[in-house]
Structure 1
Amino acid sequence: MLSYLGDWYKARFSDPQAITLLFILLGIGLLLYFAGGLLAPLLVALVLAFLLEWPVAQISRFGINRSVGASLILVLFIGLMVLIAFGLVPSLWRQGIALATDLPVMIDTGMQSLVSLSEKYPQYISIEQIDAMVIELKKLLDTQHLLDIGKQLLGYSASLLVLMVYVILVPLLVFFFLKDKEQLIKSSKRFFPNNRDLARKVWFEMDQQIFNYIRGKVIEIVIVGAVSYIFFAVMDLRYSALLGVLTGLSVLIPYVGATLVTLPIALVAFVQWGVSPEFGYVMIGYGIIQALDGNVLVPILFSDAVDLHPVLIIAAVLVFGGLWGVWGVFFAIPLASLVKAVINAWPDSQHAESEPIVKAD
């Protein structure tokens, strides 16, 4: 057994390039895991700089100074964020408050409808099942639970000062990352070993894939959210803007997000129209949007960026989401692609076994 483990270790870890790649990945992973909270503004700025690098590079091709190009792109990006913050967020906030206020009435109306259905079709749903649902909902909406939610909201409000720091610090960091990109990369190389050719190969393979994925995901969120909002508004569904945004954001969590967002859409439509043709039209239209997203939009946007089995994607969402929360969910697929790229680039057994023999000769 020990000899087998020793042979396996020599076969997989005898290449110095592989050891370097392993230590780089472990170092970055440990840094993010233990110091991610402290370095959060820096990490957010790095992500934004990575996304904004492409337009800055395109502007630089026209002979515009990189500092000027970085300033222009950053101003346009900040202007877009301000427009969203003051144009879209207040409407979403009002609809969210209205939905939270109407939720108990909506649930009560839904329960009454379920009781009526139970009386008409007792073979499909019983009174005992409805009573069990009512008990669970009362637990969910009890006073203590609402107080806990209020405490959480107060905690988020207390972090307003931290948010202000982000508003000032992150744009400044993004500007310097964009303006001094080459200088910063050159300076950071001294912290990495010299024999990093394998790590460089993995990075070059992932660089374009990560950019394509993030760009495609942003486009997907905008398209799905806009189409869903237009459809809900045409159907005159209540809280159409909020539900449209939730539908757009649901694509961040593959396979699971669409299922979660279906529940509030179905609840709002059912309470608004009951069992009626309008309710059926809303659910059919929502299903068509999800089908077009999964079978048309996703293959077009991610044909070159994602080549992973659905089981691996769901596993990546669970693992990285558990480690890093929202950011982990958003970058779950790129991180899974990184793991796949490392496995593919790792020296095979024959190459690793022949390397020490060549050196020994």
Structure 2
Amino acid sequence: MVAVLKKWLDHLFANEEALILLMLIFGSLLLVISMGDVLAPVIASIIFAFLMQGTIAQLTRRNVPSWCAITLAYTLFVGMFMAVMFLLLPLAWRQLATLFQELPAMIAKGQQLLLVLPERYPEFVTHGQIRDWVSLTKSELGNIGQWLLSFSFSNLANVMGLLIYIVLVPIMVFFFLRDKDALLAWLSSFLPAHRPMLNKVWVEMNDQVANYVRGKAIEIFIVGGVSYIAFALIGLNYAALMALLVGVSVLIPYIGAAVVTIPVAMVGYFQWGGGSEFMTLIIIYAVIQALDGNVLVPLLFSEAVNLHPIAIIMAVLIFGGLWGLWGVFFAIPLATLIKAVLNAWPSKQSAAV
């Protein structure tokens, strides 16, 4: 058994590229796990730099000088970054606080609706179960409210740190954009000169991850913006907060849309009841989700990510369970990395054999 395992390992890591690739993957994972909080601004800056690369490439293809393209893209980024930080997020936070203030009244109304179920379906639901559900809901919402309150007070002392991040991220994005070639050349200097396997993985990852990140940013902007306009036009309460949830939900394929349907439907139902306005909301929301899944996603990701839906769902569940929100965001890029490594590994090994 030991001899078989040794032979398999010798075949699998028959060249230095395989070992280097394995060390890079495990080293990166160890760095993220051990210093993820400290490196969060760096990771965010790299993501934003990826977003801007598409704009820079489009401008340079139109004969715009490189320095001018970088300046225009960076100016666009700073404007959007500041708008999100100082306009969208504070508005959504205020609406979230107002929503939590109104939750007790919503729960009471929901309890009245649920109490009808034991009378209609006594064989399935009892009054005791309804009371238990309501008590559990109140308890969980109380815990969430306490967390939000403690979160607010505990972070008052970190306002200066937040301001440093607000300044630090745009600065790092600028240098990542301006010195991209120099940084990549410096990193490449630590790798072997002849590295066909690593180059194959890098090319596939660079194309697919960059396209995926830019595509997701565009999808969030379009879906969130259209949702806000639609919700505001029909007069839905907490339109900005609900639109933000709908926009961010596209980060979790298949699962996000189903989960966000619950708060959108609940807010609409408690505002209007089951009348025509509520049905209009549900129809509008269904149309937005249908257009996103059947029109926008195929246009943005037709060639960006070539993964089976089951692989995507498994990646979201596995990496989300390991690293929470960051794992959910990076689930598809990480799955793409695994796919790229698996695609490159056999060809290199067969060439070596």
Moved more, 337-346 or 95-104: 95-104
Counterpart position of 1:252:
251
The normalised TM-score by structure 2 is 0.89
Moved more, 100-109 or 20-29: 20-29
Equivalent-residue separation in structure 2 for 1:225 and 1:86 (angstroms): 17
Counterpart position of 1:88:
88
Counterpart position of 2:55:
55
Counterpart position of 1:110:
110
Superposed CA offset, 1:288-325 (max 9, x none): 32233223322222111222222321221233234443
Counterpart position of 2:217:
218
Counterpart position of 1:43:
43
Equivalent-residue separation in structure 1 for 2:59 and 2:282 (angstroms): 44
Equivalent-residue separation in structure 2 for 1:186 and 1:45 (angstroms): 19
Q: Aligned with 1:17: secondary structure?
A: helix
Tell me, yes or no, if the aligned pair for 1:33 and 1:323 is still in contact at 8 Å. no
Tell me, yes or no, if the aligned pair for 1:251 and 1:258 is still in contact at 8 Å. yes
Moved more, 250-259 or 8-17: 8-17
Q: Which amino acid aligns with 1:285?
A: I
Counterpart position of 1:359:
none
Once the two structures are superposed, the pairs formed by residues 12-27 of structure 1 within 5 Å of their partners are 12-27=12-27
Offset at 1:146? Answer: 3.8
Moved more, 227-236 or 105-114: 227-236
Counterpart position of 1:135:
135
Equivalent-residue separation in structure 1 for 2:223 and 2:58 (angstroms): 27
Once the two structures are superposed, the pairs formed by residues 198-277 of structure 1 within 5 Å of their partners are 198-277=197-276
Tell me, yes or no, if the aligned pair for 1:41 and 1:170 is still in contact at 8 Å. yes
Offset at 1:117? Answer: 4.5
Offset at 1:86? Answer: 3.9
Q: Which amino acid aligns with 1:114?
A: L
Equivalent-residue separation in structure 1 for 2:348 and 2:58 (angstroms): 43
Higher RCO (C-alpha under 8 Å, 6+ residues apart): 1
Aligned length: 353
Counterpart position of 1:158:
157
Counterpart position of 1:74:
74
Offset at 1:333? Answer: 0.6
Moved more, 35-44 or 115-124: 115-124
CA distance 1:191–1:325, shift in 2 (3 Å): farther
Equivalent-residue separation in structure 2 for 1:22 and 1:350 (angstroms): 14
Counterpart position of 1:308:
307
Superposed CA offset, 1:157-184 (max 9, x none): 3332222111222222222222222222
Superposed CA offset, 1:91-117 (max 9, x none): 323322221111111111111122234
Superposed CA offset, 1:103-149 (max 9, x none): 1111111111222344345456432321121121232244x664344
CA distance 1:350–1:69, shift in 2 (3 Å): closer
Equivalent-residue separation in structure 2 for 1:103 and 1:61 (angstroms): 53
Equivalent-residue separation in structure 2 for 1:36 and 1:194 (angstroms): 30
Offset at 1:336? Answer: 0.4
Counterpart position of 1:167:
166
Tell me, yes or no, if the aligned pair for 1:21 and 1:196 is still in contact at 8 Å. no
Q: Which amino acid aligns with 1:264?
A: P
CA distance 1:255–1:277, shift in 2 (3 Å): same
Tell me, yes or no, if the aligned pair for 2:51 and 2:210 is still in contact at 8 Å. yes
Offset at 1:195? Answer: 4.2
Offset at 1:60? Answer: 4.3
Offset at 1:20? Answer: 2.3
Tell me, yes or no, if the aligned pair for 1:66 and 1:179 is still in contact at 8 Å. no
Tell me, yes or no, if the aligned pair for 1:252 and 1:330 is still in contact at 8 Å. yes
Superposed CA offset, 1:175-206 (max 9, x none): 22222222222222222333432111111011
Equivalent-residue separation in structure 2 for 1:17 and 1:317 (angstroms): 29
CA distance 1:230–1:218, shift in 2 (3 Å): same
CA distance 1:263–1:46, shift in 2 (3 Å): same
Counterpart position of 1:193:
192
Counterpart position of 2:325:
326
Tell me how large the CA RMSD over aligned residues is.
2.5
Tell me, yes or no, if the aligned pair for 1:46 and 1:177 is still in contact at 8 Å. yes
Equivalent-residue separation in structure 1 for 2:121 and 2:346 (angstroms): 63
Counterpart position of 1:285:
284
Equivalent-residue separation in structure 1 for 2:25 and 2:122 (angstroms): 58
Tell me, yes or no, if the aligned pair for 2:269 and 2:278 is still in contact at 8 Å. yes
Moved more, 93-102 or 333-342: 93-102
Counterpart position of 2:99:
99
Identical columns (%): 46
Moved more, 50-59 or 243-252: 50-59
Equivalent-residue separation in structure 2 for 1:148 and 1:85 (angstroms): 22
Is the radius of gyration larger for structure 1 or structure 2? 1
Q: Which amino acid aligns with 1:301?
A: L
Counterpart position of 1:358:
none
Equivalent-residue separation in structure 1 for 2:56 and 2:222 (angstroms): 24
